[in-house]
Amino acid sequence: MSSTANKAKQAADIGYELPWVEKYRPQSLDDIVGNAETIDRLKVIAQDGNCPHIIISGMPGIGKTTSIHCLAHAMLGDAYKEGVLELNASDERGIDVVRGKIKAFAQKKVTLPPGRHKIVILDEADSMTTGAQQAMRRTMEIFSSTTRKRNRTLVRLF
C-alpha cells in the first residue's frame, strides 16, 4: 500500500479527508509531469543508487519536494519510512536540530536495500542558521565514511 493510500486510510479512520494536493500527489518519478530532463536525471540517480548531495531550487509549487520524495521512494522502496528524515529548516533551523535529530538519524542502524543509504531532506534549507550549517557540514564529514561509497557531487536541478 502506498504512503498516500496509508495516509488516506488513516484520515478516513479519524473522520476527515486528505487535502486534494496530498491525495493526488505523485508517488513515483513516472507520475511527475513536466521538466522531463530533470526527472530523467533523477531516474538515473535512482537506478544507479548513488544519490549525490542535491540542491533543488525554484518557484513555489513546481514539485521540488514531491520530486525528492519520489526519488527517495524509488531508491529505498519499503525502507523509505526508516531511511528518510525530513525537516523543514525554516521551522527547525538551529544548531540543536543538527546536533540532535540529524546526528541521531545518521547514527541510527537501519536496514536498507543493498548499496543504498539514508536520505535527509531539508526543506527551506536556506533558512538554516550559520551555526546549523557548520554543524551539518561537520556531521556529514563524520558520517561520510559509513554512509557513502562513491564520490559525492553537488547537482543543481530545476
pTM of the model: 0.77
Separation of alpha carbons 84 and 139, rounded Å = 16
Domain segments of the chain as ranges: 3-157
Rounded to the nearest integer, the mean pLDDT of the chain is 81
Which of helix, strand or coil describes residue 125? helix
CATH class of 3-157: alpha beta
The pLDDT of residue 93:
64
Separation of alpha carbons 104 and 120, rounded Å = 12
Residues 89-148: tens digit of each pLDDT: 777 667 777 778 888 888 888 888 888 888 888 888 888 888 888 888 888 888 776 555
| Among the listed residues 154, 157, 156, 148, the one whose alpha carbon sits nearest the alpha carbon of residue 50 | 148
The pLDDT of residue 43:
95
The pLDDT of residue 149:
40
Using DSSP bridges, classify how beta strands 84-88 and 53-56 pair: parallel, antiparallel or unpaired: unpaired
